Amino acid sequence: MTDETTPRVVAVNRGTEDAEGQGSGRGPQHDALEAWVGRWINEGHMIDDDGSPGVKIATSDVYEWAPGGFFLVHSAYGRIGEFDVGGTEIIGYDETSGAYRSHFFDSQGNVTVSRLVAEGDTWTYQGDTTRATVEFSDDHRVQTVLHERTDDGATYRPSMKVTLVKVG
């Protein structure tokens, strides 16, 4: 058996190199991200400490495939109460760890890294101090999301509840 290598792009930031085989391809774990793709209107509210609805949230969210079709780029613009907010998120499947990952860069200068777990139409984000449960419904045209936060790493409390409706 011969060791057949040919020049190809293994990673864009490395250029071309001699490598075996065809390289990695898209699989069902990438196809599962298709549920997110589209333009969404996001409305909801913060959740006050007593559990009652707080200030309103309204954003416009766009999820689209990055070049190559392995990662999603999510852009969000809107308001939480009187404050302009937004951010850019990159979501993808990490072949090495066998898990989905999210990197969210917000308009306040924060970076939040989360692990995502998909179980049917439910996706759960888990970060260091936040988590969110996303329930897809209506043939993936509606997302209902409960955001939670923790200050001690153990006790979570609801922080936001939003509904995203696909408009395109």
Q: Assess if residue 11 is contained within a domain.
A: no
Which pLDDT belongs to residue 1?
45
Domain residues for the domain of 78 are: 23-166
The total domain count for the chain is 1
Q: Assess if residue 85 is contained within a domain.
A: yes
Q: Assess if residue 128 is contained within a domain.
A: yes
Distance, CA of 133 to CA of 109 (rounded, Å) = 24
Q: Assess if residue 146 is contained within a domain.
A: yes
Q: Assess if residue 8 is contained within a domain.
A: no
Q: Assess if residue 18 is contained within a domain.
A: no
Which pLDDT tens digit goes with each residue over 97-117? 899 999 999 999 999 999 999
Which pLDDT belongs to residue 24?
67
Q: Assess if residue 103 is contained within a domain.
A: yes
Q: What global pTM score does this model have?
A: 0.88
Residue ranges in the chain whose pLDDT is less than 50: 1-2
- CATH number assigned to the domain comprising residue 27: 2.40.128.20
Q: Assess if residue 158 is contained within a domain.
A: yes
b/e string for 49-61 if b means 16 or more Cβ within 10 A? eeeeebeebbbeb
Which pLDDT belongs to residue 168?
86
